[in-house]
Structure 1
Amino acid sequence: MKKRINFYRYIFHIILLLACFEARASLTSDQLAAKEKGIELYDQFKAISALPYLQISADAGDDEAQYYLGEAIRKNRKFIDNDAKTAYEKSAKQGNIYSMIRLGRMDEDLCVNMAKCPKSEKTAKEWLAHAESLANKQAGQGNAESMYLLYEITGKNQWLEKSAENGYPLAQYLLATEYQEGGGFFVLPSSRTDVIERWMKASAENGYPRAMSGIAAILVERKDAANARAWVERAAATGYVEALFNYGYYLAGKNSEFGFSADYVKSYALLSLFLELDGGGGAKEDAEYVISKIKTEMSKSQLDEAEIFAANWKKTHPALSFFPFKLSR
């Protein structure tokens, strides 16, 4: 009897391993394209449009797509319902710490006030404990992102600092902004300023668009307009909505601090890209307002030139993105 029980256990574990392998199987090119499109739309605040694309890659077993699917559903319905919970759980079972944290925060979700929280396979406390255990293991192996996730789980600044020191761009940016907002202790105000600039620059150099805009603002405040302009242009080239809008706005002859020369063709072209942002965030409306002002100063040939410039920009640059925090706050 004991041998038979062990045999069944062995079969069970084999089936479990096969199921996990299937869930983590590589995406086909079409499934990967669907995932990328879904995340692109989600990052443009078009969560409803993102759903069918994310569903394709989530159904194929991709844990990140499952997480984003849960996020898109939650954003659409304003709370974690059963569909969102199911997507998070599928992702969490594959070791996705972001999904574990989201499930671990379910007792803070709007569903509590609505008395509509779906029953999860673990309690919120258990999911957070699981997330912390896994993140600790990965952090011990030098994973800087997991160090940041431990900061999110525990609220302990030491993890944010460790993550920043180990080169995670988001942690470097968050540390800089925390110091900007008065966090930390510095004997001299100049010391605080130096540390803020150091971490903001480190994050920007590591490719984080929000930090690129942040270091540009710091530099223009220091009257270093040339380097500030360079960072504005680098941030705009990433597709970061705020940075690209600012760049287009400055090219319209606004804000002389940065020292951009007015270029209505380029300004109109860049701002016209925002007309597709109908998912929220206010960028479309702001762009329409500026465009309406500069259009009156432009000739037909300039408008045609702007249209060509905009089309070429779209072909050669990343899609527009608000770059929302993956673990939205």
Structure 2
Amino acid sequence: MTSLKTLFFIVVTTLVFGSGALAANSEQQEEAKRKGIELYNQFKAISALPYLKIAAEGSDHESQYYLGEALRKNKKYMTPEAQRAYEASASQGDLYAMIRLSQRGGDLCVQMNNCPSEQKSPMDWRKSALEAATKQAEMGDSEAMYLLYRLTGDEKWFERSAEGGYALSQYYLGAEYREGKGFFLTPAKRADVVERWMRASAEGGNPQGMLAYAAIQGRKQDWQTFRYWNEKAALTGYVSAVYGYGSYLAGQSPEYGFKEDLVTAYACISWVLEMDGGGGMKEFAQEELPQIAARMSAQQIEQSEKLLTEWKASRPPLSFFPDKL
């Protein structure tokens, strides 16, 4: 009887404390995923790797996909480790990973003749991606519709994705019409369609769409709407928007009607200084920040530094919002 009680105690203790350890591990991996994707979206793929590896160990398919992306981009070609990460993600149904594996025929590893061994051929992965994307699209998933367009080039899916509310498709579609896609009787008709899609994208939360829609309103000299969407885009953490908003508040282009606010401007430009992984924005910030500081008191600069600390704790992280695919 004593041995049975002891065994029961051991089992219960293991379940209780073991589940606690699993929960802690899960939290650690979730935090690692968040940080890893944040760094990746700031063009800091090398710095993102340790975090994405921790997150991917928890079999999170999105972390595995981003790990594959970071590994592949760092080496400029498909490595065995990147291949394994993509395959682990794709085997869980991740559409992005399936599509990436289907594109290996154009990878640099083919030219180098050192492509890693694969579970399935690119053609087989393409077939799996088409089946999965079609199934999700038929259920109304507008993101899957966009991925079908990327897989097939069928404009029907591009239009349906935008009509279905996928903000990235709406932005891309607006941009294509802006660059000459389609036929319109007059330039005004084209401009109306571009504006409709950019507004939809902006209202759907896409920061690129926000800036594009703001630019349209600027050309109409609707400065109130221009200012609104520039600030809105900056609040998403979109690097270009944060930099632009800070510059406007520092007094650049006064005709746009931004009220000068050097404290907020300095905080914006200071934040952009952290973008040292690529994108070229850090260099712009390094050039502009001393010019703003020269017009500020030590107390104002201290206020800016405090404001930036508050932002980092409460706002989305800075991001270039690169296309996931």
For residue 272 of structure 2, what is the aligned residue in structure 1? 274
1:179 lines up with 2:177 in the alignment: yes
Please list the CA deviations of residues 82-112 of structure 1 after superposition, one character each: whole Å capped at 9, or x if unmatched.
1111100111111111001101111111222
One-letter identity of the residue aligned with 1:243: A
1:263 lines up with 2:255 in the alignment: no
Q: Is this contact kept in 2: 1:220–1:257, CA < 8 A?
A: no
How far does residue 179 in structure 1 lie from its aligned partner after superposition? 0.6
For residue 251 of structure 1, what is the aligned residue in structure 2? 249
Q: Distance in 1 between matches of 2:256 and 2:77?
A: 42
1:90 lines up with 2:88 in the alignment: yes
Q: Distance in 1 between matches of 2:92 and 2:122?
A: 17
One-letter identity of the residue aligned with 1:91: S
Please list the CA deviations of residues 148-190 of structure 1 after superposition, one character each: whole Å capped at 9, or x if unmatched.
0000000111111000111111111111111111112222211
Q: TM-score, structure 2 length as denominator?
A: 0.90
Q: Distance in 2 between matches of 1:32 and 1:112?
A: 35
5 Å-filtered alignment, 1:210-249, equals: 210-249=208-247
SS at match of 1:215: helix
Q: Is this contact kept in 1: 2:162–2:170, CA < 8 A?
A: yes
Q: Distance in 1 between matches of 2:216 and 2:92?
A: 41
Please list the CA deviations of residues 266-318 of structure 1 after superposition, one character each: whole Å capped at 9, or x if unmatched.
11111101222221111111111100212112221121121112222222211
For residue 162 of structure 1, what is the aligned residue in structure 2? 160
5 Å-filtered alignment, 1:126-205, equals: 126-205=124-203
How far does residue 214 in structure 1 lie from its aligned partner after superposition? 1.0
SS at match of 2:120: coil
Please list the CA deviations of residues 180-229 of structure 1 after superposition, one character each: whole Å capped at 9, or x if unmatched.
11112222211111111111111111111111111111110111110110
5+ residue gaps, structure 2 = 1-21
Q: Distance in 2 between matches of 1:264 and 1:112?
A: 53
- RMSD, aligned CA: 1.5
Q: TM-score, structure 1 length as denominator?
A: 0.89
For residue 19 of structure 1, what is the aligned residue in structure 2? none
Would you say how many aligned residue pairs link Structure 1 and Structure 2?
303
For residue 110 of structure 2, what is the aligned residue in structure 1? 112
Deviates more, 1:178-187 or 1:218-227: 178-187
Please list the CA deviations of residues 18-44 of structure 1 after superposition, one character each: whole Å capped at 9, or x if unmatched.
xxxxxxx99822211111111011101
One-letter identity of the residue aligned with 1:325: D
5+ residue gaps, structure 1 = 1-24
How far does residue 257 in structure 1 lie from its aligned partner after superposition? 4.2
> 289, 301, 326: which one pairs with 2:324?
326
Between the aligned residues of both structures, percent identity stands at 52
Q: Distance in 2 between matches of 1:289 and 1:187?
A: 45
Q: Distance in 1 between matches of 2:234 and 2:315?
A: 9
How far does residue 119 in structure 1 lie from its aligned partner after superposition? 2.4
